[in-house]
Amino acid sequence: MKNFKAGKYINQGYYKSFQPEQINRQWLLEDMELLELLSKADRQLGRLDMYSEHIPDIDLFISMHVLKEATQSSKIEGTQTNMEEALLDKEDISQEKRDDWEEVQNYITAMQQAISMLETIPFSSRLIKETHKILLQGVRGEHKLPGVFRTSQNWIGGASLADAIFIPPVHTSIGDLMSDLEKFTHNEELYFPDLLKIGIIHYQFETIHPFLDGNGRVGRLLITLYLVNKEILKKPILYLSDFFERNKTLYYDNLMRVRTHDDIKQWLKFFLVGIIETAKNGVQTFDEILKLKQRTELKIQTLGSRASNAQKILHYLLKRPIIDVNKIIEITEVSPKTAYNLITDMEALEILQEVTGGKRSRVYVFKQYLNLFN
pLDDT digits (tens, 9 = 90+) for 20-44: 999 999 998 888 999 999 999 999 9
**190 pLDDT above the threshold of 90:** no
**50 pLDDT above the threshold of 70:** yes
- What does 300-367 look like in DSSP terms, one character per residue? HGGGGGGHHHHHHHHHHHHHS-EE-HHHHHHHH---HHHHHHHHHHHHHTTS-EE-S--SSS--EE-H
Rounded CA gap, 253 and 223, in Å? 19
pLDDT given for residue 88 in this prediction = 87
Q: What percent of the chain has pLDDT over 90?
A: 80
Rounded CA gap, 241 and 210, in Å? 20
pLDDT band at 109 (very low <50, low <70, confident <90, very high): very high
pLDDT band at 144 (very low <50, low <70, confident <90, very high): confident
Mean per-residue pLDDT over the chain, rounded: 93
pLDDT band at 141 (very low <50, low <70, confident <90, very high): low
Rounded CA gap, 13 and 204, in Å? 24
pLDDT given for residue 154 in this prediction = 96
pLDDT given for residue 249 in this prediction = 96
Report field, pTM of the whole predicted structure over 0.75 = yes
Domains in the chain, start-ordered, CATH in brackets?
Answer: 7-285 (1.10.3290.10), 293-371 (1.10.10.10)
- Mean pLDDT of the 251-263 span: 97
**357 pLDDT above the threshold of 80:** no
pLDDT given for residue 80 in this prediction = 85
pLDDT given for residue 152 in this prediction = 95
pLDDT band at 191 (very low <50, low <70, confident <90, very high): confident
Rounded CA gap, 348 and 296, in Å? 12
Helix axes 174-186, 125-135, angle to 10 degrees: 110
More confident residue, 55 or 107: 107
pLDDT band at 142 (very low <50, low <70, confident <90, very high): low
- Mean pLDDT of the 242-262 span: 96
pLDDT given for residue 233 in this prediction = 93
